[in-house]
Amino acid sequence: MRALLQRVLEASVEVDGSLVGQIGPGLLILLGVHQDDTLREVQYVADKCLDLRIFEDTDGKMNRSVRDLSGSVLVVSQFTLYGDCRKGRRPSFIDAAPPALSQPLYKAFVERLAASGLRTAQGVFGAQMKVRLLNDGPVTVMVEKDASDP
């Protein structure tokens, strides 16, 4: 599982011209699900996203998490995070989980974040989406957990 985190001042997602999710300060999380992922990876990556200290404290050091700030989280499904560009000029998405596997894991990820008590918004799984963000910093980091990791 891969989660690309962007620290944002605001972010939103539209589907067919309609606003479906919007947040203020917090995290925009683009989530990719691998074909071997299970709930174990969901739990690890979701908890890491909630507790990763990438927000500044009063001294300007990255010492606070989105949970510490009571920030918001916007989650957008992003199978292209598993695009393999090593060969040729067209990415291969063979490692990305098919929708029958990835949709329930995406839903479980969103539910785990929401259970933290933070305001949690989401895109529409599998839809063509327009994502807007105002990156803060900019700060962008990748959180990964492979099914083979201990």
Q: Which of 35, 43, 58, 79 is catalytic?
A: 79
Residues 2, 147 contacting (CB under 8 angstroms)? no
Query: Is 35 an active-site residue?
Result: no
d(CA 87, CA 27): 32
CA atoms within 13 A on the CB side of 141: 15
Query: Quick one: tokens of 81?
Result: 């995070």
Q: Which of 78, 109, 120, 125 is catalytic?
A: 78
- Give me the sign of the Cα torsion angle 126, 65, 39, 6: positive
What is the H or E stretch that residue 126 is in? none
d(CA 44, CA 7): 19
Query: Is 128 an active-site residue?
Result: no
Query: Is 79 an active-site residue?
Result: yes
Query: Quick one: tokens of 135?
Result: 């990156």
Question: Which residues are designated catalytic?
Answer: 78-80
